Amino acid sequence: MINRLIASTLPLFPKRLVWLFSRSYIAGETVDEAMRVCRALNDDGMKTTIDILGEFIQNLEEAEKNRDEYLALIDVTQRSRIDGNYSVKPTMFGLLIDADACYHHIREIVAKAAGYGNFIRIDMEDSNCVDLEIRLFRRIKAEFPESVGLVVQAYLRRTLDDLKGLMDLHSPTLPLNFRICKGIYAEPRRIAFQRHDEINAHFLEDLEFMFQNGIYPGIATHDRALVEGALALIDRYDMGRDRYEFQMLYGVTPELRRMLIDAGHTMRVYVPYGRHWFGYSTRRLKENPKIVNSIVKSLLLRG
Ligand code: FDA
């Protein structure tokens, strides 16, 4: 109740105060700040995936600006020799306004990354976007088979069927590369599991399907029970360390992250940055008020 109240009134707070909440989770406003964070993570044994903040734009001019920002980011990151790839949210490029324009923008970004031998992850957004994002992925994967991946959400009842339906794109030499996460948007019971145990069971079922079929998973969770479940599957299927990776959000559960790195698993950290951090932070908090707990705790622990 209190979490929900804090989360919904946060947009009314002064920006500087919200920054106090957000700074542990966002690399900063500028590309230089993002580079500094990525360099520190690399030095500490982690790979990165960089995300420029922004989503659900109002017009296609914004989409062009976002595309240009990503193209510039890729050049700077490659010049800075950061060990990491990139994540994009298709609604930032006009997915819900003009899906074809969105395709062309993301295609250009993937082509740029592919030119450096790098990789773009298409984030999965709310359930209005899922079919469109799968279609977008298929289209780009056909042209750049090694340079693009997708996200699947364990809370969606359809996800295992989606995975099976995408297997026609898979081959042992060019395996599919999917991030599996719980899913962050508020979705109705009809299409999405709501209970923690159901979501976790489906997460592990999807992950097991990936291991059984040679898909490369990015296991994106901070939930200790899921990490343990994933480790048990890695053991059961005797997965080599190069056949999967763990992924976590910047600033979240650093101890769990450290434990996995020290045990020799690959860890990739999702690093969001950009001018739109305020909208991003307040929206995320409204969507998932439980996060307020972790934020308040981390602020208190920092003293
Ligand atoms: P859970 O929510 O149970 O969290 C476990 C614990 O982790 C919490 O108790 C808390 O301590 C901590 N925690 C989790 N999230 C936190 C946060 N944001 N701030 C502070 N503490 C937090 N979703 C989506 O719909 N589409 C996508 O493309 C992506 N992409 C993505 C990339 C990566 C690398 C990650 C890690 C996550 C995503 N997500 C996502 C978000 C994901 O769907 C999910 O909402 C969050 O990861 C939280 O779920 P957990 O599995 O961590 O469990």
**CATH code of residue 62:** 3.20.20.220
Q: For the chain, how many structural domains are there in total?
A: 2
Is residue 300 located within the same domain as residue 203?
A: no
Tell me the average pLDDT across 252-277: 96
Q: What mean pLDDT comes out for the span 251-264?
A: 96
131 and 146 share one domain: yes
Instruction: Report helix, strand and coil shares of the chain as percent, to nearest 5.
Output: 55, 15, 30
- pLDDT value at residue 303: 35
215 inside domain: yes
| 156 CB near ligand 1 (under 6 Å) | no
Question: Probe ligand 1: pick from 48, 184, 291, 296, max atoms within 8 Å of CB?
Answer: 184
**Residues spanned by the domain of 2:** 1-26+274-303
Question: Does 142 reside within a domain?
Answer: yes
Catalytic residue among 67, 107, 121, 123: 123
pLDDT value at residue 250: 95
Q: Is residue 44 part of a domain?
A: no
179 catalytic, yes or no? yes
Q: Is residue 41 part of a domain?
A: no
- Angle CA(56)–CA(61)–CA(64) in degrees, nearest 5? 85
In a domain, residue 185? The reply is yes
- 227 and 299 in a single domain? The answer is no
Distances (CA, A) of 62 to 53, 67, 93, 204: 13, 9, 8, 38
Is residue 104 over pLDDT 90? yes
Q: What is the pLDDT at residue 289?
A: 67
Strands (E) across 224-302 are located at 245-249, 267-273
- Ligand 1 lined by 182 (C-beta under 6 Å): yes
Q: Is 10 helix (H, G, I), strand (E, B) or coil?
A: helix
63 against 283, higher pLDDT: 63
- Examine the domain organization and report whether 268 and 300 are in the same domain: no
Note whether 72 and 210 are same-domain residues: yes
- What tens digit of pLDDT does each residue of 24-57 get? 889 999 999 999 999 999 999 999 999 999 877 8
* Ligand 1 neighbour 220 (Cβ under 6 A): yes
